Amino acid sequence: MTAARRASLVLSGVSLVLGLAGVVVARELAFTAARGEIILGLGVSFNLLGALLTIALSILAITGALLGNRAVLLSAAGGFAIAAVQVLAQFGRDTNWLGSRGSNLSLFLALAVGLWSLAWLDRHRTG
Amino acid sequence: MSVIAPDPVGSDRISRWILSGTRIVIGILWLTNAGWKTPPDFGRSTGSGLYRYTAFAVEHEVFPPFAFVVREIVIPNFTLFGWTVLLVEAALGSFLLLGLATRFWALVGVAQAVAITLSTLNAPGEWNWGYYMFIAIHLVLFATAAGRSWGLDGLLSPAWSSRDTKWTRLLLRWS
């Protein structure tokens, strides 16, 4: 396994853990509650939809890394980029589908940029 | 008798772990900080949040020219300023966590830490040395190119070196 794929697994593994923690802390909130529950004082917050979406995108990224499939990895990166745009559009407003805050913007941006960069590196090495 | 020079910073495993750990902690610090910069008014209507801390620059002046800029330019355009701070701090969290373009973002961190220092240093109950350390830690991340230790800069720089484009040259310089 290449270093890029191992790094992709680390990134997506961290986001999977955060998504799972999100399900635990947000279990009593409404599915799309505008104010999500914060995980361990880290600033990242989720409602159930936000946590489940993070889990789904993380599993997609893990699958892409394990299979060495750049298209799948890039799809996950694109999903996290869209989630970052959701924060910009809805954070601090009455409607906030993912229950997210500014910290989620930072997290989703890191996942989108990180996975995209690693997919680029894998392509560069094999291409 | 010959003298053996010590290894450069970050060349042994323990130093690399410490450098990457420091970079990640500072990344998490910015990520956490981005959480309470809340649009759309960033605390202006309630005198709380980012607005409260920004107003400290005028109420508890540290450096008169900085206080002038905050009073005359920042506060009248506070929504734009709030969005800028949110985006910069969110990006600082992202890129320092990843260790991508680390030296560039470490300098952005220095600038942001200086701005925070000039806003809040004289506010009641603040510990001055905390702000000086905040600036110093970013300088250390810059000086040691901390993204090359267990960061994306270290992984990506060989590929950037082999592709001689404007962007790869820039990224190499920033890493």
What are the tokens at B156?
Answer: 């990506």
Predicted confidence at residue A1, as pLDDT, reads 83
User: Which whole-number Å values give the CA distances from A124 to A80, A115, B103, B160, B175, in the listed order?
Assistant: 22, 14, 23, 10, 19
Distance CA B93, CA A41 (A): 15
In a domain, A14, yes or no: yes
Average pLDDT over residues B85-97: 98
In a domain, A58, yes or no: yes
Predicted confidence at residue A127, as pLDDT, reads 57
If you compute the radius of gyration of chain B from its CA atoms, what whole number of angstroms results? 19
Distance CA B118, CA B102 (A): 24
Write the burial class of residue A117 (CB in 10 Å: 0-12 exposed, 13-18 middle, 19+ buried). Answer: buried
In a domain, A7, yes or no: yes
Range in A99-103, B6-10, B119-123 the model is least confident about: B6-10
Cα of B82 to nearest chain A Cα, Å:
12
- The answer to whether the Cβ–Cβ distance between A118 and B152 falls below 8 Å is yes
Predicted confidence at residue B35, as pLDDT, reads 95
In a domain, A127, yes or no: no
Chain B residue with CA closest to A87: the answer is: B39
A interface test, pick of B32, B41, B92 with most A CB neighbours within 10 Å: B32
| Residues B75-88: tens digit of each pLDDT | 999 999 999 999 99
- The answer to whether the Cβ–Cβ distance between B90 and A109 falls below 8 Å is yes
Predicted confidence at residue B11, as pLDDT, reads 75
Start-end of H helices in B34-101: 49-59, 64-69, 78-98
Predicted confidence at residue A123, as pLDDT, reads 82
Average pLDDT over residues B85-104: 98
In total, how many domains does chain A have?
A: 1
Per-residue pLDDT band at B7 (split at 50, 70, 90): low
Predicted confidence at residue B4, as pLDDT, reads 60
Tell me the torsion sign for CA atoms B27, B31, B34, B36. Answer: negative
Instruction: Report domain extents, chain B.
Output: 13-174
pTM: 0.94
Cα of A39 to nearest chain B Cα, Å:
11
Distance CA B157, CA B175 (A): 8
Distance CA A70, CA B41 (A): 40
Distance CA B77, CA B99 (A): 32
Residue A91's domain comprises: 3-28+37-122
Instruction: Give pLDDT < 50 ranges for chain A.
Output: none
Q: Return the bridge partners of A38, or none.
A: A45
Quick one: what percent of chain B has pLDDT higher than 90? 91
| Residues B125-161: tens digit of each pLDDT | 999 999 999 999 999 999 999 999 999 999 999 999 9
pLDDT at B63 over 80: yes
Nearest CA among B79, B150, B140, B152 for reference residue B113: B140
Nearest CA among B140, B113, B39, B24 for reference residue A114: B24
Give yes or no for B135 touching A (CB within 8 A): no
Predicted confidence at residue B117, as pLDDT, reads 98
- Residues of A contacting chain B (CB within 8 angstroms): 3-4, 7, 38, 41-45, 91-93, 101-103, 105-107, 109-110, 113-114, 117-118, 120-121, 124-125
Give yes or no for B154 touching A (CB within 8 A): no
Predicted confidence at residue A122, as pLDDT, reads 84
CB A43 within 8 A of CB B32: yes
CB B113 within 8 A of CB B130: no
